[in-house]
């Protein structure tokens, strides 16, 4: 029940059924964004775009996919960070400029958008949305370079923050990862085609073979000449987002070349050793707490049970009865299995606590179902700071752990005992020997790229 999701990108070239494969890829990346989705394809004549608000399954039909011909495509699932939840902010963005038609998908968040926007507007640029992705497109179009490839390199020299990008033109597909590699981007092979995806679970669905990560700072270019790679910016110490392993990514994905399922199980094992408790059941908060709860159960010897059942068919919004005096909130998504919980001492395992209001409702729900004790265990350290790298987080003052100690958090949540994974334990699970190889800023406030507003 951690931070809100972010976005997923998928693209490939050259593949006969590029848009249909991209549609499948987006299906596998649906968990990364449910507010909007889009696909842009190229057929040697022009770029074709279809995008809209909602789930991938609702946006695309046979007919819309038929209108996305060609052997190259990029796609995006979106959870809004900058730009709001409006159709114009959905990706890919398609523009026509100095280099012909150009489409772009972005996972991440620039940290110097405001100053870039101001500068560009003063220079005569117009924008149709508040999206930082439009800023990148404007920088590419206004670059002094003679070719698109060089213009992209020039634009990248001006942007700061988090960006995993896919850029499609008539002649090229470019995959770009920022120098810190905040957001993931992996590469695979499907026959002749080079495939890119935020997570490897999408490769499994289309039958592509995982090759490697796109390296932090790397630009991989696919065109008629084949595949080549460049590192246009000075190298820095990479800081990929550790929260991908805590919560965002699907457990069946490899992220940064490491199994998400295995990492989460390790988190659960270490959590059990760090915060042992006498209990009858280990119950995950589904779905993101499941892998850590399995590890907790394994290390503690306490039986694992699905004591909370998740309704997977709830959309982002739902309509409550008009006369209702109570808020349905968490109840719509989760329901306790009373027969399992009654009279039991329960260890609840979740991945993180943000505002704490959801955790409090879940603890109440488990108690109301008859549990005699509820012990909360969190498989990451306290989240004390906001994310500026493409994850939708509340402001710092709304984060429960930003101003409370462990006892005050326990009291707010209403658990009998409370325990978090330590930062050091998290670093052990990530095999991060000097504690410097990932971004942990939402736990530490140590921002590798300080956002404009904080300077």
Q: Which of residues 108-127 bind ligand SF4 (CB under 6 A)?
A: none
Is 241 part of the annotated catalytic residue set?
A: no
Closer residue to ligand SF4 in complex, CB, 189/384: 384
Tokens standing for residue 122: 């003063």
Q: Is 441 in the site for ligand SF4 (CB under 6 A)?
A: yes
Phi, psi at 358, each rounded to 5°: -65, -45
Q: What is the distance between the alpha carbons of residues 394 and 414, in angstroms, rounded to a whole number?
A: 22
Residues 6+ apart with CB under 8 A from 213: 181, 184, 185, 186, 187, 256, 257
Contact 32/78 with Cβ under 8 angstroms? Answer: no
Contact 170/102 with Cβ under 8 angstroms? Answer: no
Of the residues 55, 60, 203, 243, which one makes contact with ligand SF4 according to CB under 6 A: 243
Stretch of 23-31, 118-126, 236-244, 367-375 lying at the interface with ligand SF4 (CB under 6 A): 236-244
Of the residues 182, 196, 203, 304, which one makes contact with ligand SF4 according to CB under 6 A: 182
Residue matched to tokens 């956002």: 451
Contact 157/233 with Cβ under 8 angstroms? Answer: yes
Phi, psi at 418, each rounded to 5°: -140, 140
Residues 6+ apart with CB under 8 A from 148: 99, 102, 140, 169, 171, 172
- Minimum gap (Å) between residue 299 Cβ and ligand SF4: 25
- Minimum gap (Å) between residue 387 Cβ and ligand SF4: 3
Closer residue to ligand SF4 in complex, CB, 131/164: 164
Rg (CA), the chain: 22
Residue matched to tokens 């020299």: 157
Looking at 335-405, list the stretches that DSSP marks H as alpha helix, in order from N- to C-terminal side.
338-341, 357-368
Nearest to 217 by CA among 264, 311, 153: 153
- Minimum gap (Å) between residue 389 Cβ and ligand SF4: 4
Catalytic residue among 7, 241, 387, 439: 7
The secondary element (H helix, E strand) that includes residue 50 is strand 47-53
Q: Is 440 in the site for ligand SF4 (CB under 6 A)?
A: yes
Contact 354/4 with Cβ under 8 angstroms? Answer: no
Q: Is 241 in the site for ligand SF4 (CB under 6 A)?
A: yes
Stretch of 111-119, 274-282, 347-355, 436-444 lying at the interface with ligand SF4 (CB under 6 A): 436-444
Stretch of 30-38, 152-160, 185-193, 435-443 lying at the interface with ligand SF4 (CB under 6 A): 435-443
Binding mask 343-362 for ligand SF4 (x = CB under 6 A): --------------------
Binding mask 195-214 for ligand SF4 (x = CB under 6 A): --------------------
Stretch of 27-35, 186-194, 225-233, 438-446 lying at the interface with ligand SF4 (CB under 6 A): 438-446
Of the residues 12, 353, 399, 439, which one makes contact with ligand SF4 according to CB under 6 A: 439
Angle between helices 113-122 and 132-142 in degrees, nearest 10:
50
Closer residue to ligand SF4 in complex, CB, 188/430: 430
- Minimum gap (Å) between residue 364 Cβ and ligand SF4: 27
Q: Which of residues 370-429 bind ligand SF4 (CB under 6 A)?
A: 387, 389, 391
Looking at 5-86, list the stretches that DSSP marks H as alpha helix, in order from N- to C-terminal side.
18-28, 56-59, 62-66
Closer residue to ligand SF4 in complex, CB, 72/356: 356
Tokens standing for residue 362: 């879940």
Of the residues 242, 277, 409, 418, which one makes contact with ligand SF4 according to CB under 6 A: 242
Stretch of 63-71, 148-156, 266-274, 437-445 lying at the interface with ligand SF4 (CB under 6 A): 437-445
Q: What is the distance between the alpha carbons of residues 357 and 104, in angstroms, rounded to a whole number?
A: 37
Of the residues 140, 308, 348, 442, which one makes contact with ligand SF4 according to CB under 6 A: 442
Closer residue to ligand SF4 in complex, CB, 19/111: 111
C-alpha angle with apex 197: 192 to 199, nearest 5 degrees?
Answer: 130
Contact set with ligand SF4 (CB under 6 A):
182, 241-243, 387, 389, 391, 439-442
* Residues marked as catalytic: 7
């Amino acid at each position: 029940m951690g931070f809100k999701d972010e976005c997923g990108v998928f693209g490939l070239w050259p593949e006969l059924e590029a848009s249909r494969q991209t549609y499948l890829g987006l299906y596998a990346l649906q968990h990364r964004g449910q507010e909007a989705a889009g696909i842009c394809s190229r057929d040697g004549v022009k770029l074709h775009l279809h995008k809209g608000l909602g789930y991938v399954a609702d946006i695309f039909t046979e007919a819309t996919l038929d209108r996305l011909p060609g052997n190259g495509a990029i796609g995006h699932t979106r959870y809004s960070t900058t730009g709001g939840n409006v159709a114009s902010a959905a990706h890919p963005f398609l523009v026509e400029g100095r280099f012909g038609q150009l489409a772009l998908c972005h996972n991440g968040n620039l940290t110097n958008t405001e100053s870039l926007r101001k500068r560009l507007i003063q220079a005569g640029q117009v924008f149709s949305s508040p999206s930082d992705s439009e800023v990148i497109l404007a920088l590419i179009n206004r670059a002094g370079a003679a070719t698109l490839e060089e213009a992209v390199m020039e634009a990248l020299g001006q942007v700061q923050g988090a960006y995993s990008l896919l850029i499609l033109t008539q002649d090229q597909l470019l995959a770009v990862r920022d120098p810190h590699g905040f957001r993931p981007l992996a590469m695979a092979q499907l026959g002749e085609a080079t495939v890119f995806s935020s997570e490897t679970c999408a490769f499994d669905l289309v039958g592509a073979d995982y090759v490697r990560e796109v390296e932090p700072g790397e630009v991989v270019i696919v065109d008629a000449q084949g595949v080549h790679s460049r590192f246009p910016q000075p190298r820095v110490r990479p800081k990929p987002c550790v929260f991908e392993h805590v919560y965002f990514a699907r457990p069946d994905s490899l992220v940064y070349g490491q199994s998400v399922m295995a990492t989460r199980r390790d988190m659960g094992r270490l959590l059990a050793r760090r915060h042992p408790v006498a209990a009858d059941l280990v119950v995950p908060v589904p779905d993101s707490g499941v892998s850590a709860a399995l590890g907790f159960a394994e290390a503690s010897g306490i039986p694992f049970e699905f004591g909370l059942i998740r309704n997977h068919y709830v959309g982002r919004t739902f309509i409550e009865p008009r006369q209702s005096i109570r808020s349905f909130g968490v109840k719509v998504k989760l329901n306790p299995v009373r027969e399992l919980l009654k009279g039991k001492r329960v260890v609840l395992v979740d991945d993180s606590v943000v505002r704490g209001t959801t955790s409090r409702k879940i603890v109440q729900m488990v108690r109301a179902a008859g549990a005699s004790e509820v012990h909360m265990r969190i498989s990451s350290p306290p989240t004390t700071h906001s994310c500026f790298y493409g994850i939708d987080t509340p402001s710092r003052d709304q984060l429960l752990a930003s101003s409370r100690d462990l006892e005050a958090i326990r009291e707010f949540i209403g658990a009998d005992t409370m325990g978090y994974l330590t930062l050091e334990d998290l670093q052990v699970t990530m095999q991060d020997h000097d504690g410097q190889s990932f971004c942990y800023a939402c736990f530490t406030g140590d921002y590798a790229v300080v956002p404009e507003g904080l300077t």
